[in-house]
Amino acid sequence: MSTPRPPQQDRATATRARVIEAAYACLLEGGYAATTVGAVQQRAGVARGTLLHHFPTRATLMAAVVDDLADRRISVLDGDPPAESGWDGVVDLVWRDLQSPAFAAALELWVASRTDPELRAALAPVQRRVFTSIRRAITAFVGEDDPRVPTLAQFTVDLLTGTAMSRVVDPGADVSVVIGRWKRTLAVLSSGDAVSSGIHRPSLP
């Protein structure tokens, strides 16, 4: 008795997922320039016609990869909570995302988007979705009643993102000093003393 084949829609979904996974692996291994349609086709083990049926152009493939990377990064944020609480936990959570393979792949796309308007257009709304998830994760730790939260959250994401990007050039750089100093700075900025000393600023949009 032959084994029933899965419905066509299920096969199409599985093929699409396999192609996106192959593109993700290409990004991590060789960067954006090496993530060609041919390279993805070979890694995914599908016929060229099959790949082009799902993704007629490299741009449509990259748009799907952008969405996939956002889902991967959000899953990191939604994982097990950091051991630390408060702003220390926020720093650890954001840093965990920035150390993930998904962020490394996203960074490849960020750089490429500088000279690729189509890619940039695909990235912009997805990046907003990721940052919305980051802010939601942050408020879960520190609440949303304090008007300083949006500003300090943005500072944390920006500072740690820059720190993570600097390690691309110097992978062996010890960033623990920067992270530790920022945790201590946040403790001051989020305290009542910060308000009385005039450190508080209006929250950013």
Token representation of residue 57: 């152009």
pLDDT at position 192 is 64
Per-residue pLDDT of the chain (205 residues; tens, 9 = 90+): 455 556 767 888 999 999 999 999 999 999 999 999 999 999 999 999 999 999 999 999 999 999 999 999 999 998 888 889 899 999 999 999 999 999 999 999 999 999 999 899 989 999 899 999 999 999 988 988 899 999 999 999 999 999 999 888 888 888 999 999 999 999 999 986 544 444 444 343 3
| CA 167 vs CA 145, 160, 162, 172, 175: distances in Å | 35, 11, 9, 7, 9
| CA 181 vs CA 13, 59, 175: distances in Å | 46, 41, 10
pLDDT at position 193 is 54
pLDDT at position 5 is 56
This prediction's pTM: 0.82
Question: CA 20, CA 40: separation in Å to the nearest integer?
Answer: 8
Evaluated on CA atoms 6, 10, 15, 20, the torsion sign reads negative
What is the end-to-end Cα distance of the chain in Å, rounded? Answer: 63
